[in-house]
Structure 1
Amino acid sequence: MTDGREREVEAGAVAGRPLRYYDVVMAAFVAVLLLSNVLGAGKVAVVDLPGIGPWPFGAGILFFPVSYVIGDVLTEVYGYTRARRVIWVGTAATVFMAAMAFVVVALPPAPDWTNQAAYETVFGQVPRIVFASLCAFWAGEFVNAYVLARMKVASGGRHLWMRTIGSTVAGQAVDSLIFYPLAFLGAAGWTPQLVVTVLFTQWALKVAWEVLLTPVTYLVVGGLKRAEGLDVYDRATDFTPFRAKV
């Protein structure tokens, strides 16, 4: 369903066609992905909840509002196949970042540089965290994109809020169930109870963020659809994740 300013098309009709803002959205998504892995994933912060007291949460939640608006935009505006391309680009960028982090940490420090221990403390877990993040990101993003694309077809393009929230509930459940045990179970400072607490807290917070950001998602999606002049549907799309062709 369109408002008259966008032309409803099948995803296959725009295969290989350059779109005005697709590359910009891809670059923004990959940048936020890398920043969330480096800056947010390894730190547990705490918030004092009224009536409950101190409650731990992963600092990576700060990146979620941006990353999931972009993730929803990719599938809703550009279709599953172009979202799939971005997921693979993000995967490759994360692998490269992990490899470079390992090399940089392993390089012998200069004799007069005294920050090696602090550097290892901050970045020493990056390979494990990135491996967990890579697995969780890959699975969670594909679940999110698949659910959103299928719901769009089933709903005839109506009720965007239902698609964005429903896909987040499914995608973030998969993401969190993979990421936190792989990244932190058995790690220093992480008890099994803390892993479970942060896992469910992150999932609930991310779903809540998606609900709160629904007006922003509507604005961005509407603006991009008007700019591109298209409303893409995945009625005949091959949903295999194991390709990157658009």
Structure 2
Amino acid sequence: MRDRSERRYLVPIAALFSGVLIVSLILAGKIVSLAGLTFSAAVIVFPLSYLFGDVLTEVYGYASARRVVWAGFAAQIVWIASYTAAAALPPAPFWPHQQAFETVLGSTPRIALAGMAAYLFGELANAYVLARMKLRTAGRFLALRLIVSTMVGQAIDTTLFVTLAFAGVFAFDELGRIGFGAWALKVAWEVAALPVSLPLIGWLKRAEGEDHLDRDTDFNPFHLGG
């Protein structure tokens, strides 16, 4: 196994992971209805975070994925603070878009807080299930493990997000439709991405010389060590 200091692709993957999270927060406020399903526009990009999370856990192990998940959480805090400060600043007299700015991004604080909680628990659950299943199967059945971990993680993520972000805004049955539609699309996205994710994981394992198995890992989600 290659020394951890030589992990060439870990930082780029972590950076893309955090970027996807921020874009997801921006898109999350729009609700889309398509082909009988109702869901947040964040579905366009958010499942990529689970793809990156799968890659991190499968190649580098749960401890590395956990650190990146917490780094993404910190990036979301920066986004909330930045938006709040920008919205509070007085607009220039010649800039007429303050109301549009607040209308488009005005739900950011609640949505972002909901997204942060949902993301944190969902991503950690996804990594945990994937790592534990890898132990139980001795690294076999990768496609099955990716799908099952995503189903669990996205169920937790979607339920928390829809409840915290839209309770009181939409009726209970509408929340159910939004949640189920988003969950179904995210899982379908994971399945559709398998022809990309499986070769990517295989190539990355060879390139990094690493295929971590979490035999001695502390699975405490709040422990940021190895």
Give the TM bin, normalised by the shorter chain.
over 0.9
Deviation of 1:95 after TM superposition, in Å, equals: 0.5
1:170-185 superposed matches below 5 A: 170-185=152-167
Residue matched to 1:4: none
8 A contact 2:31–2:39 mirrored in 1:
yes
- Aligned mate of 1:32, from 8, 13, 20: 20
1:10-159 superposed matches below 5 A: 17-38=5-26, 40-47=27-34, 49=35, 54-159=36-141
Amino acid at match of 2:189: W
RMSD (Å), alpha carbons:
1.5
Q: Hey, what's the Cα distance between the residues in 1 that align with 2:173 and 2:55?
A: 35
Higher helix share: 2
Identity of aligned residues (%): 47
Q: Secondary structure at the match of 2:90?
A: coil
8 A contact 1:142–1:241 mirrored in 2:
yes
Amino acid at match of 1:92: A
Residue matched to 1:10: none
Deviation of 1:66 after TM superposition, in Å, equals: 2.3
Amino acid at match of 1:34: I
Residue matched to 2:201: 221
Deviation of 1:65 after TM superposition, in Å, equals: 4.2
- Flag as ranges the 4+ runs of structure 1 deviating above 3 A: none
Structure 2, unmatched stretches of 5+, are: none
Amino acid at match of 1:228: E
Give TM-score scaled by structure 2 length.
Answer: 0.95
Q: Hey, what's the Cα distance between the residues in 2 that align with 1:177 and 1:77?
A: 28
Q: Secondary structure at the match of 2:16?
A: helix
Amino acid at match of 1:209: W
Query: In the comparison of the two structures, how many residue pairs are matched?
Result: 226
Which structure has the greater CA radius of gyration? 1
- Aligned mate of 1:235, from 207, 215, 219: 215
Q: Hey, what's the Cα distance between the residues in 2 that align with 1:164 and 1:221?
A: 11
By relative contact order (CA 8 Å, sep 6+), the higher-ranking structure is: 1
Q: Secondary structure at the match of 2:212?
A: strand
Alignment partner of 1:192 is 2:172:
yes
Amino acid at match of 2:30: K
8 A contact 2:67–2:224 mirrored in 1:
yes
Give TM-score scaled by structure 1 length.
Answer: 0.88
The more displaced of 80-89 and 178-187 is 178-187
